[in-house]
Amino acid sequence: MYGTKNKSELIHRFNEHYRKNCEMYPDLVNMTGTYVTLFSGFIAIFGWDMLLTAGGFDPVALGEVANRYASWMMQFYEALAESDTPVVYSHDDIVWTLGAIFHPEWYRKYIFPNYKKYYAPLIEAGKKVIFISDGNYSEFVDDIAATGAHGFFFEPLTDLKYIVEHYGKTHIIIGNADTRILLSGTKHDIRQEVQRCIFLGKDCPGYFFGVTNMIPHNTPVENALYYNEVYEELCWR
């Protein structure tokens, strides 16, 4: 249905995205990558109602579809391996607020083995892979690490303390500050949230502090400024 993409065109697209990021943000760690890696691709293709129905009615058949989708998606990761970007983000919303959507073993059979296939050419090419998902993926942190991913980007729902304790010296860790606290919290709340993240992450060589899911436009400016002020005060290792 979706067909084979022209590899040269894919490489060009990834290179252009990476180049534009570098031009816009020359002092940052820039990257490019994929959004519909696997489970997010399912959400886009089927919608939630059909996806949940299929997963409940016949998880094995849905798993076979996952493998077929992954075989199609592999061409994007092979192109990324030949692109100029040194860092690749692999976005896949595999969970929701309370955790896994399907039984955890379904992920371990059909999702994570495909990630491992995706990441193999990237790792061979010397690139760093950062996995990104909304929701609470604490129960899958070890599984994701086992795929070869070099880092984790996650919302405050995922357990920063666990990741720091188990992967703080070996992996890239990004985010965890709660944007809701900036939106409606007091200065005391904001300071506590910045302290929580900084004190957990500051001894990790690959920790990037940040607000997960960005700062929405209706956040009070004074809250955003105070958040940055506290960060600058506490960030020194």
pLDDT per position as a tens digit, 71-121 = 999 999 999 999 999 999 999 999 999 999 999 999 999 999 999 999 999
Predicted local distance difference test score (pLDDT) of residue 214? 85
Angle CA(48)–CA(181)–CA(199) in degrees, nearest 5?
Answer: 110
d(CA 39, CA 32): 19
Predicted local distance difference test score (pLDDT) of residue 1? 85
Q: Concatenated DSSP letters for 62-111?
A: HHHHHHHHHHHHHHHHHHHHHSS-SEEEEE---EETTEESS-HHHHHHHT
The per-residue pLDDT of the chain, averaged, comes to 97
CB-based burial label for 8 (10 Å; 0-12, 13-18, 19+)? exposed
CB-based burial label for 199 (10 Å; 0-12, 13-18, 19+)? exposed
User: Which of 101, 197, 177, 169 lies closest to 140 in space, CA to CA?
Assistant: 101
Q: Kindly indicate the confidence band of residue 213, based on its pLDDT and cuts at 50, 70 and 90.
A: confident
The domains of the chain are located at 7-158
- Contact 135/153 with Cβ under 8 angstroms? no
Q: Kindly indicate the confidence band of residue 43, based on its pLDDT and cuts at 50, 70 and 90.
A: very high
Amino acid, res. 71: S
Predicted local distance difference test score (pLDDT) of residue 237? 84
Tokens of 70: 């992954």
pLDDT tens across 159-172, in order?
999 999 999 999 99
